[in-house]
Structure 1
Amino acid sequence: MKVHAKDLEVGCIVNQDIMGRTSLPILTRNTVIQKQHIKALWAFGISEVSVEKTKADGSLFRPANLILPNKEKEKTETTSKQVGGSDQFIRTYLKSVQSFKRQFQQWQSGMSVDIAEMREVILPLTKMVAEESHLLYYINEYSSKTEYLYHHSIAVGIISAMLGKKLGLDAGNVNQVALAGILADCGMSRISPLVLKKQTALTENEFKEIKMHTAHSYKMIKEASLLKPEAKLAIFQHHERIDGSGYPTKEKNERVHLYSQIVAISDVFHAMTSERLYRSKQPIFKVLEMIRRDQFGKFNFKVVNALLDLFGNLTTGTQVRLSSGQMAEVVFTKSNYQTRPLVRVLPSEEIIDLSTQTELYISAIM
């Protein structure tokens, strides 16, 4: 919906790029509005903004005045929404984050984990993403630094489920991996809130405390009858690496369960592509390349390849933004270069092979 920029509130979600007198957007689609964004829009003289009906905290945005679009504008907004994910998914996702937050706060006060409740939170989302895989590209967009932990758990559950499906797990085990993903960090509720909210790098002792969360998580779910042993193991092992460099017990090779690796790589991927208290997010395709390069030997090749296939194999015609700010569409993806397809720059029609243009990368899916 279109609203006057003066009516924007912190937490509103932009659903179309906001352009000024520059080649690059002032704000990109899916930006969660903060105070500095409102000031920037005022400085650039932007009077109208298209936003989602739901704010990042899951509440409805009720502006004082709506700008009613004509039919052509309405058509543009509808098309944008179809590409960027359905309004239903956004509402469901944001409500799920808030549901998880409430559960987490209850765990902090000593209450036990309700696995059935966690199923109700995560499984509707995995079903939506399984039916519309392009929604995967947007689940890292709505996280804020202060709400990161809750968004992260939801996102890791979704990505873990989709990786499990990509690796050939049956529906029941996909659901178990999803539950392992969403519950992997439930033990963070046993960590000091001061450490969780710290906005600078952790001290050695604080990091030791954080590393205890895997054991806390396992203790919180070890008696749960709705979780299979493999899912419980994944919750305990999701920071292990097959080269023995992980924690808590430095397991190696086949002793790190497949489910553990699925949740682990989902955890790493979402963390790197999200805003955090002391670290800025990075573009999805840049992160995929970093994982392939820097995490070599830490994860089984088939798990890394599944992640690359899940996010990297864009279909022909997919519109993207390049790191140069240019708009383009995918022409062809080579089997060994999932993150670097051939693209046609718009509107010039120039063909660029990203596998040979290392200074360029895909910065966003449109």
Structure 2
Amino acid sequence: MIVPVRSLREGYVLKKDVYSLATTPLIKSRTVLKENHLTFLRAFSIKEVEIDSMNEADLVETSDSEEVAEEVRHTDQSFFYRYNQAVQTFKRQFESWQAGMPVAIHDIRNMIVPLFEDVIGAPVYLLALHEYNHPKDYCYHHAISVGLFSASLAHKLNYEAKDWIQIGLAGVLADIGMAKVSPTLLDKSGPLTAAEYNEIKQHPVHSYQMIKAVASLNDAVKLAVLQHHERLDGEGYPFGSNQSKIHPYSEIIAIADVYHAMSSEREYRAKHSIFFILEEMRRQRFGVLNVSIVLTLTELLLQHSKGATVRLSSGETGEIVFINPQDLTRPMIKLTDSNEILNLQQEPHLHIEDLLKINKKMLV
């Protein structure tokens, strides 16, 4: 029986292993669910599971329950658990800003810098970030994720540690001005009116005003926060600045912002495939962005995708067996059903529609 995670109760027994992107189960089958398991499932944004029975008389503690509990305790220290903890911390901060409190930059720095170090040490985590986004908490996931992508991109672009930390912080802070936007707009699931969109477009100004007096942030960070929606052709906002006036930090955060927004499920639309997004970013379909940084993001993500299971636009599934260094978004795929090797460079009518599973060796 399939049961939404929000409806689970202690005592239910899992019929099947619960997975996220990795091939190792988060929680094993035959586990009798307890509160720590329920918390764990919610932290990983698992939407539903299959249970074996809802009859208490049929529930039997399995012999490996202690082993499973220990596995959960160990996983509580994993990157994705701590990522979700950071999202909830940011949410509490955001609610305090809505109430008029100042930005506690020291707390934000202590929360996020260890995660910066994690993704720089293991960039493959970035490949799975969008899987942990929850549409209702999108704003908070977006802030943490944009910070992580911004710091990782800056590191790969050979910025020094003091600089990639500042750039990452700018990514986290870029949208804090949303706390000054009408809450009804943040929760709106339908299209915005012209007036509502104009109000939303003022959030970079609000973000800047909230941090302009913070002495521990340098002027480049504050400018990046203000400019992260500007575009190189002058078609961005809030000022319509062109390339000559846009700070390099801003260009990094703009790309992190667009990528995470397009790869995340939202209340009003489904997420896009990361392969599709990266191709479209390179073609400037989401605004005129710095192409060299887009290519850096592509390399940062897709150099780790060998061994991943994907679904093609044809409906077929397969494993990525070779990454073409000249065109990272169109690798070679070994099809699951036929074992045929498909070179996507030679199949322009096909594209990767979804990343289904990451090889567990990629997440060690």
Q: TM-score, normalised by structure 1?
A: 0.79
**Structure 2, unpaired ranges of 5+:** 10-15, 23-28, 359-364
Residue 81 of structure 2: aligned partner: 91
Residue 146 of structure 1: aligned partner: 136
Tell me the alpha carbon deviations over residues 160-197 of structure 1, each in whole angstroms, 9 at most, x when there is no partner: 11111111111111100110000000100000001111
Residue pairs, 1:260-279, within 5 angstroms = 260-279=250-269
Whether the aligned pair in 2 keeps the contact of 1:314 and 1:333 (CA below 8 Å) is no
Using the TM superposition, name which of 355-364 and 179-188 deviates more.
355-364
Whether the aligned pair in 1 keeps the contact of 2:32 and 2:61 (CA below 8 Å) is no
Residue 39 of structure 1: aligned partner: none
1:230 aligns with 2:231: no
Residue 125 of structure 2: aligned partner: 135
Deviation at 1:47, TM superposition (A): 9.5
CA distance in 1, matches of 2:300, 2:45: 31
Residue 325 of structure 2: aligned partner: 335
Give the one of 332, 353, 360 matched to 2:351: 360
- Cα distance change on mapping 1:189 and 1:296 into 2, 3 Å: closer
Using the TM superposition, name which of 87-96 and 346-355 deviates more.
346-355
Alignment partner of 1:141: what SS?
helix
Deviation at 1:313, TM superposition (A): 2.4
Whether the aligned pair in 2 keeps the contact of 1:5 and 1:48 (CA below 8 Å) is no
CA distance in 2, matches of 1:159, 1:226: 21
Alignment partner of 1:9: what SS?
helix
Using the TM superposition, name which of 183-192 and 298-307 deviates more.
298-307
1:101 aligns with 2:57: no
Tell me the alpha carbon deviations over residues 97-147 of structure 1, each in whole angstroms, 9 at most, x when there is no partner: 010000000000111101111112211211121222211112111222211
Residue 9 of structure 1: aligned partner: 6
Residue 26 of structure 2: aligned partner: none
Whether the aligned pair in 2 keeps the contact of 1:188 and 1:213 (CA below 8 Å) is yes
* Amino acid in structure 2 at the alignment position of 1:300: N
Whether the aligned pair in 2 keeps the contact of 1:5 and 1:49 (CA below 8 Å) is no
Residue 40 of structure 2: aligned partner: 54
Residue 37 of structure 1: aligned partner: none
**Structure 1, unpaired ranges of 5+:** 13-17, 20-26, 32-45
Residue pairs, 1:63-212, within 5 angstroms = 68=62, 88-212=78-202
- Cα distance change on mapping 1:108 and 1:223 into 2, 3 Å: same
Identity of aligned residues (%): 38
CA distance in 1, matches of 2:133, 2:60: 26
Give the one of 274, 277, 292 matched to 1:284: 274
Residue 42 of structure 1: aligned partner: none
Aligned residues: 327
Using the TM superposition, name which of 328-337 and 255-264 deviates more.
328-337
CA distance in 2, matches of 1:263, 1:155: 11
Whether the aligned pair in 2 keeps the contact of 1:52 and 1:87 (CA below 8 Å) is no
* Amino acid in structure 1 at the alignment position of 2:322: F
- Cα distance change on mapping 1:153 and 1:217 into 2, 3 Å: same
Alignment partner of 2:130: what SS?
coil
Deviation at 1:59, TM superposition (A): 11
CA distance in 2, matches of 1:181, 1:270: 11
Using the TM superposition, name which of 150-159 and 133-142 deviates more.
133-142
CA distance in 1, matches of 2:256, 2:93: 22
Residue 13 of structure 2: aligned partner: none
